[in-house]
Structure 1
Amino acid sequence: MAMNSSYLNFKDKHILVVGDVMLDRYWHGGTSRISPEAPVQVVKVSNIEDRPGGAANVALGLAKLGVAVTLVGVVGQDENAQVLQKCLEQEGVRCRFVQSEKLPTITKLRVMSRHQQLIRLDFEERIDSLSQNEALAEVVKQALPEADAVIFSDYAKGCLADVSNLIQLANKANVPSLVDPKGNDFSIYQGATLVKPNLLEFETIVGACDTTKELEIKAKELKAKFGWDALLVTRGEDGLVLLDRDKAPFYLATAAREVFDVTGAGDTVIAVLTAIFVTSKRFVDAVEYANQAAGYVVGKLGTAFITADQLETIMFQRTHSKNFGVLAPEALLQQIKLAQVNGEKVVFTNGCFDILHPGHVAYMKQAKALGDRLVVAVNTDASVKRLKGEKRPINSLEHRMAVLEAVGAIDWVTWFDENTPKNIIELLSPDVLVKGGDYSIDTIVGAEHVLSNGGEVKVLTFLDGYSTTSIIDKANL
């Protein structure tokens, strides 16, 4: 997938987050002695840190991206609710909390010393009140008309006990709903647009998956059973798998290179996934961006966030890495296989491309429009000499490939030394073979191989008035 900067333009986009909001509180201090009262360490607290947690962390991640976000959840009528709201609002999150007189704001207190967690104390009670469910639903109903999407962030604390009704409200408002689920009953998420369990959560529902094929079968069955458009299973170091409508499963290797802390990685995935989906309308693109964002945050210590500028830089570096551009035929074969496994259509064309002109560029754009990836195979210098004569090529193979690599429509550039591209076509087995000129399909080299593998062969015309020969003749005048 080529990086599309418009996907990171969140102007006028608004996402609603609904779920279990929490306050993560950290007491930091040094330990230098044992208590005389009991055999425990004494921590001299020197710093207190408050962070939004749970669904509030998802909302904060969206705000860091530059997305307008409204957060709906249940809090107590206490000081911790005020602290949580202040933390969020100073980052631009609009809070519409349902306050409870009987329940405390869910708070997780961690005592830390020298970057080690000594103990965690949880202050919480499950939300079971019918009146609070009704109040929450009313707030969601009021917020949906201005939302481009809604995230339901379920931490099994009771805020989403009536999530089935909330999904129905979203569907009636024609607002896509994306769910980060919890628990052993996924029927409550029936009718959602996308559900994103991790592998453990997924296998809790469908049972252990010993093979990739078994995972695919069970995922398709689960998606169909509950009427989801898409299902995304995150598998830690094994990457992600997306089932999007009736398309072939899309596999993606994890983007993480070094993992320092997985805290908040799931929140990052659902936040970035939803943000990109509201601009691209394509889950496959949204998953790629979310995967890169998760790879970034797990490489940081503690809860980390990613901005749109950082994500744009990461995606630019990725699309300009050696997975794309000029590749040797054998290395390119592996990239093509991966693209085809993920349901992408690979288009192939070839030529000398000695002097690139507007006719070539227009031709490349036409060829790219026939699929998802475009491969251009270039004759080597020796091959060009045999075909065009001793005075050609004007530009060396290295220079010709460098120019082609810069053409936006082209994903990969490679080379071949024979007079015809027959061998490289049979090696790469593209889905679409394209040739420019006055050819008939039965005279195109490689056509028989592509057609016998279920592919297509297309003949395109160059832009009139341009040719390499005429440019060379004019230069010699």
Structure 2
Amino acid sequence: MSARPLVVVGDALLDVDLVGSASRLTPDAPVPVVEDIERRERPGGAALAAVIAAAAGSREVVLVAPIDSDDGAARLRELLAGRVRLIAIPAGGGTAVKQRVRVGDHSVARLDSGAPVATLGPLPAEAAEAIRDAAAVLVADYGRGTTAAADVREALGAARGPVVWDPHPRGADPVPNARLVTPNGAEAARVAADAATGNGLAAVGARAEALIRLWGVGAVAVTLGSRGALLSYGSGAPMVVPAVAVTGGDPCGAGDSFAAAAALALADGAVTGEAVAAAVAFASAFVARGGATAWDAGDAAGAAGRPDAVADTGAEGVIAQVRASGGTVVATGGCFDLLHPGHVATLRAARGLGDCLVVCINSDASVRRLKGPSRPLVTAGDRARVLEALEFVDAVVVFDEDTPAEVLDRLRPDVWAKGGDYAGADLPEAEVLRTWGGQAVVLPYLDGHSTTALVERSRVW
């Protein structure tokens, strides 16, 4: 663990999903009858941001939040134990509990309990010291009064590390020393309603500039869901960071994951633009992996921190959604070093065999072992970005082994498709596919195109 922790300050909630099935409507109203309900609990609000940050990196995470003494608070403490260090602010008013009633992947109702505003006791000296000495501070404001308390604001104003502020419509204004504020598009439009009309980038940029002037903060990153984020410093052209396209997933918790990733990046010394770019990529991967509903499913960061990790975003989410609807998962693989028409033809044909296409590509080290020390010509991250830009590619996964056997065993596609000179022969991966009833197939190859040939021609030129 790093010596200086990331400190998360804000309102801790208990989130509950009541997940069931529905096959009929009630006779007295056009609403579904939800049966076979399973209760799933998780930390919410600032507590969710804290556990996301703790799972994403090697830095200790400290949560400073009001905690009551009721059953909800006891359950929240249990969920946080072993994940983050909690410094509780004495509080009353009951733990805020948000319950979503869900049928499959769809919410049909939300039930909120607990006082809208918590009754806060004094900020413990231990909390003020942790905030002051943190590598970075993330404020996760959920409008229950924590960030409006005078002693909390005083401690935040004295923070030596960068402050990231994730605001709430009912919350307090960010402290002026905040490095980065991360409202979503609706929050920015609500606070800066007079700055612009519409939802285009010009309007979003104008609102971001207005918020910087209003709050006196360093920068504002307006999160725009599937459109990514717009970062403004108050003057000049804003930076727009597009999001990786995500199929399926649960957007619940995306804002928390964005703010947590930005705070972690700033704690590690990134500049603001780098932090926002990292946060957009992280949030996209977080949503693809199931969002807040998958908060405890192992490594919340997924491939974060691994070589070539940029490419491994969303394959599991894509596959889960296709399987849930009874569809067919198709996978293919290769080095894909210098994408050429032969590759494109094979990929397009492979996608036509099912309802999604996952492309498994060799890592840079794997390519060097297979092709020699002069390859690859293009890094795995860039190869993945090119492939993901193709409309018939749904996800890309990087593997480091010499063969895709391990990644295939993890993804378990219904079909494994290869192009080339394999017709009439058993594909090397066919035996692996048979273990779960999958089928390996060969696709026609567009003759006269290969990366090796392209490299040789370039040398002649």
Q: Could you say which residue in structure 1 is the equivalent of 2:139? A: 152
Q: Could you say which residue in structure 2 is the equivalent of 1:426? A: none
In structure 1, C-alpha distance between the alignment counterparts of 2:141 and 2:80, rounded to whole Å: 19
Q: 2:45 aligns with which of 43, 54, 62?
A: 54
CA RMSD of aligned residues (A): 3.7
In structure 1, C-alpha distance between the alignment counterparts of 2:85 and 2:171, rounded to whole Å: 31
Counterpart check, 1:201 vs 2:187: yes
Q: Is the 8 A contact 2:67 2:89 kept in 1?
A: yes
In structure 1, C-alpha distance between the alignment counterparts of 2:235 and 2:210, rounded to whole Å: 12
Q: 2:122 aligns with which of 135, 139, 150?
A: 135
Task: Give the deviation of 1:12 after TM superposition.
Answer: 3.2
Task: After superposition, give the CA deviation of every residue in 1:281-324 in whole Å (9 maximum; x if it has no partner).
Answer: 311211121111111122233524554561234854459xxxxx
Task: After superposition, give the CA deviation of every residue in 1:54-74 in whole Å (9 maximum; x if it has no partner).
Answer: 111100101111331111212
Aligned partner of residue 147 in structure 2, secondary structure:
coil
Q: 1:21 aligns with which of 7, 12, 30?
A: 12
- 1:10-409 counterparts in 2 under 5 A? 11-31=2-22, 43-45=34-36, 47-66=38-57, 67-90=59-82, 92-100=83-91, 102-127=92-117, 129=119, 132=120, 135-136=122-123, 138=125, 140-162=127-149, 166-183=152-169, 187-207=173-193, 208-210=196-198, 211-244=200-233, 248-303=237-292, 304-305=294-295, 307-308=300-301, 310-313=303-306, 316-317=309-310
In structure 2, C-alpha distance between the alignment counterparts of 1:225 and 1:46, rounded to whole Å: 46
**Structure 1 residues 231, 326: CA separation in 2 closer, same or farther (over 3 Å shift)?**
farther
Q: Is the 8 A contact 1:167 1:191 kept in 2?
A: no
Which amino acid counterpart does residue 25 of structure 1 have in structure 2? V
Task: Give the deviation of 1:189 after TM superposition.
Answer: 3.5
Task: Give the deviation of 1:177 after TM superposition.
Answer: 1.3
Q: Is the 8 A contact 1:190 1:228 kept in 2?
A: yes
Q: Is the 8 A contact 1:255 1:294 kept in 2?
A: no
Q: Is the 8 A contact 1:13 1:148 kept in 2?
A: yes
Q: Could you say which residue in structure 2 is the equivalent of 1:416? A: none
| Dislocated runs of 4+, deviation >6 Å | 32-40, 325-328
Q: Percent identity?
A: 28
In structure 1, C-alpha distance between the alignment counterparts of 2:208 and 2:44, rounded to whole Å: 29
Q: Is the 8 A contact 2:167 2:174 kept in 1?
A: no
**Structure 1 residues 314, 161: CA separation in 2 closer, same or farther (over 3 Å shift)?**
farther
Aligned partner of residue 57 in structure 1, secondary structure:
helix
Query: Which of 1 and 2 has greater Rg?
Result: 1
Task: After superposition, give the CA deviation of every residue in 1:179-213 in whole Å (9 maximum; x if it has no partner).
Answer: 00012787454332211111111111222444534
In structure 2, C-alpha distance between the alignment counterparts of 1:405 and 1:167, rounded to whole Å: 49
Unpaired runs of at least 5, structure 1: 1-9, 320-324, 329-398, 409-477
Task: Give the deviation of 1:113 after TM superposition.
Answer: 3.8
Q: Is the 8 A contact 2:258 2:283 kept in 1?
A: yes
Aligned partner of residue 160 in structure 1, secondary structure:
helix
Task: Give the deviation of 1:93 after TM superposition.
Answer: 0.8
Q: Is the 8 A contact 1:15 1:151 kept in 2?
A: yes
- TM-score normalised by L of structure 1: 0.58
Q: Is the 8 A contact 1:80 1:105 kept in 2?
A: yes
Aligned partner of residue 211 in structure 2, secondary structure:
helix
Aligned partner of residue 261 in structure 2, secondary structure:
helix
Q: Could you say which residue in structure 1 is the equivalent of 2:454? A: none
Unpaired runs of at least 5, structure 2: 313-336, 341-371, 382-461
Aligned partner of residue 81 in structure 1, secondary structure:
helix
- TM-score normalised by L of structure 2: 0.60
Q: Is the 8 A contact 1:75 1:103 kept in 2?
A: no
Aligned partner of residue 66 in structure 2, secondary structure:
strand
**Structure 1 residues 117, 16: CA separation in 2 closer, same or farther (over 3 Å shift)?**
same
**Structure 1 residues 49, 400: CA separation in 2 closer, same or farther (over 3 Å shift)?**
closer
Name the one with the larger helix percent.
Answer: 1
Which amino acid counterpart does residue 104 of structure 1 have in structure 2? G
Aligned partner of residue 305 in structure 2, secondary structure:
helix
Q: Is the 8 A contact 1:19 1:154 kept in 2?
A: yes
**Structure 1 residues 233, 37: CA separation in 2 closer, same or farther (over 3 Å shift)?**
closer
